[in-house]
Amino acid sequence: MIRHNVPAGFEPKIIGFLCNWCSYAGADKAGTAQIAYPPNIHVVRVMCSGRVDPQFVLQAYHKGADGVLILACHPGDCHYKEGNYRTAQRNRLLKLLLGQFGIEEERCRLDYVSAGEGERFARIVTEMVESLRRLGPLATNHHGKEA
Amino acid sequence: MRVGVYFCNCGINIAGRIDPEQVKARLQDMPEVDYFETCGFLCSEDGKRFLAEDIRNKEPARVVIAACSPRDHEANFMRVLESAGLNPYLFQMANIREQVAWVTSDPERALSKGVSAIRSAIARVRLHEPLEKQKLDIIPDVLVIGAGPAGLKAALTLAAADRRVVLVEKDPVIGGKPVRYEELFPAMECAPCMLEPLMGDVFHGEHADRVELLTQTNVVEVTGYYGNFIVKLRQQPRHVDPVQCIGCGECVAACPASAPNEFNCGMSERKGIDFPFAGALPYAPYLDHQTCVRGKGDECRLCKDACPLGPDIIDLDAGELVKERNVGAIIVATGAGLYDCSALPNLGYGRLPNVYTSYEFERILSSTGPTGGELVTKEGEPPGSVAIIHCVGSLDDGHVPYCSGVCCQYAFKFDHLLRSRLPDIRITHLYRQLVLPGKDGTTLYREAVTSHAVDLIRYENISEFSLYSCNSGNGGTIISVGQYGKLNADLVILCPAIAANQGAATLAEVLDVSRDRWGFFEELHGRLDAAQSKLMGVYLAGTCQSPMDIQQAMQQGMAAAGYVLAGLIPGRKLEIEPITAAVQTDRCGGCRVCIAVCPYKATGFDEESRKSAVNPILCHGCGTCVAACPAGAMEGHHFTFAEITAEQEEALG
């Protein structure tokens, strides 16, 4: 992996794909409980984590994201029964692909947050921001401008 | 494209952290923003009135509302948009309260994040398409499969609500398993007496004209979908007109053929034409082809000649009938069976003469059973000692790990009946776990443990058991249980786990519904929707879904009927949510990945065009197939590739 010099004051940008039923509700729960977390994440609501097309993730990096977070219902709790299993299956392949691109593993995180887990959501975002701060900007980034 | 942006201050909840004036300034460079309005509380009645009027006056092409979570008020705002004449899907919410104002301590960064959320919503909403709910005509009639407690309850509930019900039963008798029992836990209620009013209502109750009962009938084909199924039913001939027959039994007496009676588990004989058991409803005999000598080339017509009502009651030449019915919904209430005791050969079932399953023992206890209710061993003697082995095959990773939840209670029911009929009896319960749920669950247990005639022994593993014959040759059994030693029993009753019916696999295939790993019909959700299958319009009631007692089965019958009554309302069309997937056929390569990933069987394959197709009635809109399609041919309405990527691109911009 390439070691970058992390520019001073670097604030990573994260795109978070959250399923409507568990994780998005979990993020809302962090809100109602007023648990502060770094504002580096933009949440894209999808009905199910199964909707997350790996192309969304690749496009997010291409357009300037330093990390992508996919949050699903806990295994067994998917509103659509098994969408989160599909996500998990797909994520394994996606990670292989990202590795080949030289994109560090920590830049793509799949995790599980239930509707009640506001604190867990805030913690996961905080952890990811911290790890991306250490990692620095994505090396392949050209911020949406074609080379 | 003219986008109207509404910023809800939410009192100070949002505006206290994010200044709307600064937001407005930071949207200046977006030419599609037509106007920016703020409101104190957009979700209040005043707020919604303002929103509707403002949209009517300004006629924006799209609307963005920056406020709370869409999980709070999106549906409300969509209704306001609709009332203002704007398609409710031309709208996007930016969640700047729960996901920005309330969680971001630094005001400058809260402003930036809020602005980014609103700009992303604007970028996305530009691409939104107007979507309409599809409206379909429905058939309010219902097919109920299985005429046991759950099916009867469902059928009668629906009939009482003016629905036409086709009630099919594979056996020539209705009432399911419990009608074959003598008495029921916990109150020792007479089972046939308890079920009689329900069964009677099917024949001559107030709503009987709306229930079409078809006995000896199987469902062989189902096409269509929720609201409009076409079902093909195959009915075996009874050969006796159950309406005109008075049940005198003259034909039975005249019949020369006999065979083991399957309704008594083969423990007694029945004639070629006979009642399944005394008191069975419909109250008319049925002719069994396997037994009748006519099936062996004989021209016998003794039964027909014996009928005092004349030659029209018995039709010896009747053949199988295939019937087609059009229904809107299907309730599966096919019941369950018992775990196969031959999988535990150490228990001697089938090898030792006086080892019975609980179901067989129910028949022995029953006054309509093989011994007419007389409690005797195979040798015709009343038993002096009885062993009741609980948890046979249950709570056991080698067999099934679940507890059926009813066996302990019927075991103590047996205990009660044995002691009341044979005062000198000794009873030993061998159990792995005692499970006695419910407010009446312990009644019979408490009675048993206070009796001197009753012993309870807890065992660790059923594989420690060894059952063999007494040397005395009196039909008795010796039970050896590992470290606990040996005991003698004249009669042994096994309480096996409740297991899926043998016919469940075939029916599941016909209906195209899934079964769980134990073979029970799989519910949509174990707690929220246990009476619903994963296929829209197919509901589950009773032990076909999970082991349960009669009370639960009846309630699930009501629940299934409730789903139908709430979902299919005569005169009202079925509204299909527009957030579904759809195939762009010109791009579909026919790989069928979408079919493999759909949990609802909403995606199908058109053999003629060699392309996939989505049935929007069955589609729940999760979008898993959309992400899975390698050709990008599957479109997820309202969550399109373009909409989602536009949103994230703006957020990263």
Q: What pLDDT, on the 0 to 100 scale, is given for residue A144? A: 43
Q: What pLDDT, on the 0 to 100 scale, is given for residue B642? A: 97
> Beta partners for B467?
B479
Instruction: List the single best residue of B98, B122, B124 to mutate versus A (max A Cβ within 10 A).
Output: B98
Chains A and B form CB pairs within 8 A to the count of 126
* Nearest residue of B to residue A82, measured between CA atoms: B599
**Option in A31, A51, A143 nearest B99 (CB):** A31
Q: Are B599 and A80 an interchain contact pair (Cβ–Cβ within 8 Å)?
A: yes
* Nearest residue of B to residue A52, measured between CA atoms: B627
- In tens, the pLDDT along B170-222 reads 999 999 999 999 999 999 999 999 999 999 999 999 999 999 999 999 999 99
- In tens, the pLDDT along B390-428 reads 999 999 999 999 999 999 999 999 999 999 999 999 999
- In 3D space, the residue among A138, A9, A15 whose CA is nearest the CA of residue B650 turns out to be A15
Q: Are B102 and A51 an interchain contact pair (Cβ–Cβ within 8 Å)?
A: no
Lowest-confidence pick of A39-53, A99-113, B328-342, B462-476: B462-476
**Option in A31, A54, A82 nearest B98 (CB):** A31
- In tens, the pLDDT along B248-288 reads 999 999 999 999 999 999 999 999 999 999 999 999 999 99
Sequence-distant (≥ 6) Cβ neighbours of residue B558 within 8 angstroms:
B153, B154, B157
Between CA B113 and CA B119 the distance in angstroms is: 10
- In tens, the pLDDT along A101-132 reads 999 999 999 999 999 999 999 999 999 999 99
Q: Tell me the mean pLDDT in the region B234-240.
A: 97
Chain A CB contacts of B106 below 8 Å: 39
Between CA B305 and CA B303 the distance in angstroms is: 5
- Domain architecture of chain A: domains with CATH: 14-135 (3.40.50)
Q: Is the pLDDT of residue B537 over 50?
A: yes
**Option in B113, B645, B653 nearest A56 (CB):** B645
**Option in B103, B579, B620 nearest A36 (CB):** B103
* Nearest residue of A to residue B637, measured between CA atoms: A47
The distance in angstroms from the start CA to the end CA of chain A is 22
CB atoms closer than 10 angstroms to residue B53: 11
Q: Are A63 and B639 an interchain contact pair (Cβ–Cβ within 8 Å)?
A: no
3-state secondary structure of B355: strand
ipTM: 0.94
Q: What pLDDT, on the 0 to 100 scale, is given for residue A3? A: 52
**Option in A20, A28, A63 nearest B648 (CB):** A63
- Residue at B401: amino acid letter: P
- Domain architecture of chain B: domains with CATH: 3-125 (3.40.50.960), 142-236+322-335+501-567 (3.50.50.60), 238-319 (no CATH), 339-497 (3.50.50.60), 577-637 (3.30.70.20)
* Nearest residue of A to residue B524, measured between CA atoms: A81
- In 3D space, the residue among B267, B268, B217, B276 whose CA is nearest the CA of residue B249 turns out to be B276
Ramachandran region of residue B512, left (φ > 0), alpha (ψ -120 to 50) or beta?
Answer: left
- In tens, the pLDDT along B107-132 reads 999 999 999 999 999 999 999 999 99
pLDDT band at A140 (very low <50, low <70, confident <90, very high): low
Between CA A57 and CA B116 the distance in angstroms is: 19
How far, in Å, are A137, B537, B568 from residue B574 at the CA level?
51, 11, 7
Q: Is the pLDDT of residue B504 over 90?
A: yes
- In tens, the pLDDT along B14-27 reads 999 999 999 999 99
**Option in A27, A36, A64 nearest B652 (CB):** A64
Instruction: List the single best residue of A71, A86, A94 to mutate versus B (max B Cβ within 10 A).
Output: A86
Q: What are B's interface residues with A at a Cβ cutoff of 8 A?
A: 69-71, 95, 97-100, 102-106, 109-110, 112-113, 116-117, 120, 534, 579, 597, 599-600, 620-624, 626-628, 636, 639, 641, 644-645, 647-649, 651-653
How far, in Å, are B386, B463, B485 from residue B392 at the CA level?
16, 10, 19
Mean per-residue pLDDT over chain B, rounded? 96
Q: What pLDDT, on the 0 to 100 scale, is given for residue B199? A: 96
Chain B CB contacts of A48 below 8 Å: 622-624
Q: What pLDDT, on the 0 to 100 scale, is given for residue A4? A: 58
Q: Tell me the mean pLDDT in the region B356-381.
A: 95
Taking the CA of residue A1 and the nearest CA in chain B, the distance in Å comes to 24
Q: What pLDDT, on the 0 to 100 scale, is given for residue A145? A: 43
Q: What pLDDT, on the 0 to 100 scale, is given for residue B552? A: 97
Alpha helices (H) along B263-381: 302-306, 358-365
Chain B CB contacts of A50 below 8 Å: 597, 622-624, 627
* Nearest residue of A to residue B649, measured between CA atoms: A63
> What does the DSSP 8-state code read for residue B521?
B
Q: Are B652 and A30 an interchain contact pair (Cβ–Cβ within 8 Å)?
A: no
Q: Are B652 and A63 an interchain contact pair (Cβ–Cβ within 8 Å)?
A: yes
Q: With beta carbons less than 8 A apart as the criterion, state whether B287 and B238 touch.
A: yes
**Option in A35, A48, A52 nearest B103 (CB):** A35
Counting DSSP H helices and E strands in chain B, the numbers are: 16, 36
pLDDT band at A146 (very low <50, low <70, confident <90, very high): very low
